[in-house]
A and B are shown apart, each in its own frame.
Chain A
Amino acid sequence: MIAATGLRWILTAVFALSALHGGWQVARPGYASARRVDHGLHTLMGLAMIAMVWPWGMDLPAAPQVVLFGAGAVWFARTAPSLLRSGSWLKSGAVPLPHVVMTAAMAWMVAVMASAAMSAGHGGGGASGDMPGMIMSGGSGTASMSLTGTGERLTAGLLAVVLAVVGLRWLGRAFDRARTARATEPGHDGAGSEEAAFGLACHAAMALGMAAMFVLLL
């Protein structure tokens, strides 16, 4: 949960971008079912992250979210063996590892916040009670809670770094696709590349937004 109003809205906009893009892709005709599931998961992740930013998000049941995003991580990991065998693990634009990490990180974030809330008997979104393992006021003044356990802090820090790297890589690729859109598609208006760039940018927004959330939990 984010205490600073401005940051709360900024992160909401960032996650909403990802959720809207995912929803739009789900609704598009002509996609295979598996791809729709991919984008559906992105939409749900975006929505769940928006909820996590706001106080009312603390009232949402955690268990279904943990199960959903845990299953999402398994779903994204399903293509890993075939990609490994084909040798296109890192080259493919659809490399699943970042998505696996993001969905797993999502499940972990929900779980760690929910377990702390449960220990404290926290039942409402007002965040008025103290949670064991968390400081409810937040050290930075921007987050309203921060982790206190060493292991949890280390995990959150590691996930922040990994997601920041993933997000930067996606964002870099998005810029590269966008900046060469018209150059690489003579005779075309570059809409395909620009759309692909936008998709990558949405992934980047999700990853960087999550990295920011993990930083705020430290």
Chain B
Amino acid sequence: MTPGEPGRQPATTRTGTRAPVAGEPPSTPEESAFAPDESAFAPDRAPAARGTWSSLRPLLLRVHFYAGILIGPFILVAALTGLVYTATPQLESVLYQHELTVTPNGAPDSLASQIAAARRAVPDGTLESVSPAPGRTDSTRVVFSTPALPADYSRTVFVDPYDHKVLGTLTTYGQWLPVRAWLDSLHRTLHLGEFGRNYSEIAASWLWVEVLGGLALWIGAPRNRRRLRRALLPGGGAKGRRRTMSWHGAVGLWVSIGLLGLSATGLTWSAHAGANIGAIKDSLGGSTPAVTTSLPAQGGGSSGTEAGKTGATDKAGKDVGYDAVVAAAHDAGLRGLLVITPPADAGTAYVVKENTRSWPERQDSVAVDPATGKVTDEVRFADFPLLAKLTRWGIDAHMGLLFGLANQIALALLAIGLIAMILWGYRMWWLRRPTRSDGFALGRPPARGAWRRTPGGVLAPAVVVVAVVGYYLPLLGLPLLVFLAVDLAAGAVRRRRAGAPA
């Protein structure tokens, strides 16, 4: 057995390894626990007494193999679309240079005049937010909702801050420009709407299983010499399937941490698991804090919502305007890209949020009383719960925003590594196929019945843990349940056929 090869070869494989012949008596007492069809090509023939790992390894190998074969396409599509997504900032700067950049020309106009110009460009729009130009060569963004647009999409007007000339109007998804919105939707849903989210959730739910399982198999693979080198570096003189496995394992080892991060952050976005993760995060006190937009009471004595209403009523009609609100936010220490949301109704405040999503992140926010221009509430990123900070950093790293170009390159390398690993995995499967039989044949899977080698004391807690995780990650649990049902049915049919009289 080649070091690092986690499975026995089939009888006549492309690599030429000799394996047991059907009907051959089992070589160890343990094999008698398996039907002939199940004992053949068993991935590990070590006696169970060798320990928990040797008993678990065949089971893990089987899970890794089948998840790779069946879930691999989902992960491959996510990796391919993710790879394209990494180039988004460069695409945006090329495609939308006219809207995004301006030539500095003296002092900027007031925000009020810029917003007025934007309103004329989208007369039927309702103002959602304003982002003043963060730099001297940046344009101002004024975002409107319009009745004709689908949910979460807006019309964003780009205004030259120096002459309040409208540079262009684009349909945006949140803050994302059309090309990023399109690629984002491709990566998340394949443009199939809510139903399409299931594809990326399946990929995210299973990626970490494949990575952790693969890591355990690779690190725990039997190697007689040069263990570290063979684990860390591909090649090593191996040929054929062993060489492919060497690349699959070694590259997998290097990219594993990044892939685990992508899987975890991807799950936080998902529809089903994301809701569960959000609930767990909230119960642990890790929810992202937000400023209170209700205006404070005037004159004391009342509190809560009623106070807010009273305060608003007293000052109804007064509004200091966007320029004063931005000035108040600057006074409160907010810098960089700001997003100003107008009051939702007469009883609420403006909200100004920092939205710098590169390191060091700036995510402070303040509420500003429209009547007085004074800050009524503030939330500092430094005071966020650790879980909320980790979520923010994780999401922005996943999107390639946190560390700029280096982040994009790292993500692209991860995507390429993942694509290569999936293709190597399929190649290994292909190389396992019988070559002496006539016609088309698939590579043989790891032997059935691997669980029979695992002691109940190990299997029982593992099953319970998988059940709990499968509940919280339903697109891990449900496909696993379906696979188990199909596998059990297939096993029953095979046993019945084997037991049927000739």
B23 within 8 A of A: no
A195 within 8 A of B: no
Which residues of chain B come closer than 8 Å to A6, judged between CB atoms? 471, 474
Using CB atoms and an 8 Å cutoff, list the residues of chain A in contact with chain B: 6-7, 10, 139-141, 164, 167-169, 171-176, 179-180, 182-183, 186, 189, 204, 208
Of B82-90, B161-169, B346-354, B452-460, which binds chain A?
B452-460
Which residues of chain B come closer than 8 Å to A7, judged between CB atoms? 471
CA distance A141 to B277 in the complex (A): 12
Chain B nearest CB, measured from A90 CB (Å) = 16
Which residues of chain B come closer than 8 Å to A186, judged between CB atoms? 32
20 A-B residue pairings within 8 Å (CB atoms): A6-B471, A6-B474, A139-B283, A140-B279, A140-B283, A141-B279, A164-B464, A169-B460, A171-B456, A174-B460, A175-B454, A175-B460, A176-B456, A179-B33, A179-B451, A179-B453, A180-B33, A180-B452, A183-B32, A186-B32
Q: Which residue of B lies closest to A170 (CB)?
A: B460
A-B contact count (CB 8 A): 54
> Quick check: A173 and B456 within 8 Å, CB to CB?
yes
Interface size class of B (residues with CB under 8 A): 20 to 34
Indicate with 1 or 0, residue by residue over B274-304, a CB within 8 angstroms of chain A CB atoms.
0000010001000000000000000000000
Indicate with 1 or 0, residue by residue over B449-476, a CB within 8 angstroms of chain A CB atoms.
0011111110111011000000100100
Which residues of chain B come closer than 8 Å to A140, judged between CB atoms? 279, 283
List of 9 A-B pairs having minimum Cβ-Cβ separation, nearest first: A172-B456, A175-B456, A183-B33, A176-B456, A172-B460, A171-B460, A179-B452, A175-B459, A172-B457
Q: Which residue of B lies closest to A173 (CB)?
A: B456
B499 within 8 A of A: yes
Within 8 A of A (CB), among B439-455: 451-455
Determine which residue in B279, B452, B454 has the highest number of CB atoms from chain A within 10 A of its CB, and name it: B452
CA distance A168 to B464 in the complex (A): 8
CA distance A208 to B471 in the complex (A): 14
Set A10, A174, A176, A183: member contacting B455, Cβ < 8 A: A176
CA distance A7 to B471 in the complex (A): 8
Which residues of chain B come closer than 8 Å to A175, judged between CB atoms? 451, 454-456, 459-460, 463
Which residues of chain B come closer than 8 Å to A139, judged between CB atoms? 283
Determine which residue in A140, A169, A176, A189 has the highest number of CB atoms from chain B within 10 A of its CB, and name it: A176
Chain A nearest CB, measured from B274 CB (Å) = 14
Which residues of chain A come closer than 8 Å to B460, judged between CB atoms? 168-169, 171-172, 174-175, 204
Determine which residue in B283, B459, B461 has the highest number of CB atoms from chain A within 10 A of its CB, and name it: B459
Which residues of chain A come closer than 8 Å to B452, judged between CB atoms? 179-180
Chain B nearest CB, measured from A174 CB (Å) = 7
Q: Which residue of B lies closest to A142 (CB)?
A: B279
Chain A nearest CB, measured from B359 CB (Å) = 34
Chain A nearest CB, measured from B86 CB (Å) = 35
Set B279, B283, B451, B461: member contacting A168, Cβ < 8 A: B461
> Quick check: A182 and B456 within 8 Å, CB to CB?
no
Which residues of chain B come closer than 8 Å to A183, judged between CB atoms? 30, 32-33
Chain B nearest CB, measured from A192 CB (Å) = 16
Q: Which residue of A lies closest to B35 (CB)?
A: A182
Set B32, B455, B463, B499: member contacting A189, Cβ < 8 A: B499
CA distance A176 to B460 in the complex (A): 10
Set B33, B453, B459: member contacting A182, Cβ < 8 A: B33
**Given A167-B464, A172-B459, A182-B35, 19 more contacts at CB 8 Å?**
A140-B279, A140-B283, A164-B464, A168-B464, A169-B460, A171-B456, A171-B464, A172-B455, A172-B456, A172-B457, A174-B456, A174-B460, A175-B454, A175-B456, A175-B459, A183-B30, A186-B32, A189-B499, A208-B464
Which residues of chain A come closer than 8 Å to B30, judged between CB atoms? 183
Which residues of chain A come closer than 8 Å to B471, judged between CB atoms? 6-7, 10
Determine which residue in A6, A139, A174, A179 has the highest number of CB atoms from chain B within 10 A of its CB, and name it: A179
CA distance A198 to B475 in the complex (A): 27
CA distance A164 to B279 in the complex (A): 24
CA distance A186 to B456 in the complex (A): 21
Q: Which residue of B lies closest to A140 (CB)?
A: B283
Which residues of chain A come closer than 8 Å to B35, judged between CB atoms? 182
CA distance A208 to B464 in the complex (A): 9
> Quick check: B456 and A179 within 8 Å, CB to CB?
yes
CA distance A189 to B496 in the complex (A): 11
CA distance A167 to B455 in the complex (A): 16
Chain A nearest CB, measured from B182 CB (Å) = 33
CA distance A173 to B30 in the complex (A): 19
CA distance A7 to B474 in the complex (A): 11
Which residues of chain A come closer than 8 Å to B459, judged between CB atoms? 171-172, 175
CA distance A139 to B284 in the complex (A): 11
Which residues of chain B come closer than 8 Å to A141, judged between CB atoms? 279
Which residues of chain A come closer than 8 Å to B463, judged between CB atoms? 171, 175
CA distance A164 to B468 in the complex (A): 13
Chain A nearest CB, measured from B315 CB (Å) = 37
CA distance A164 to B461 in the complex (A): 10
Chain B nearest CB, measured from A1 CB (Å) = 18
CA distance A175 to B32 in the complex (A): 17
Q: Which residue of B lies closest to A200 (CB)?
A: B456
CA distance A217 to B303 in the complex (A): 35
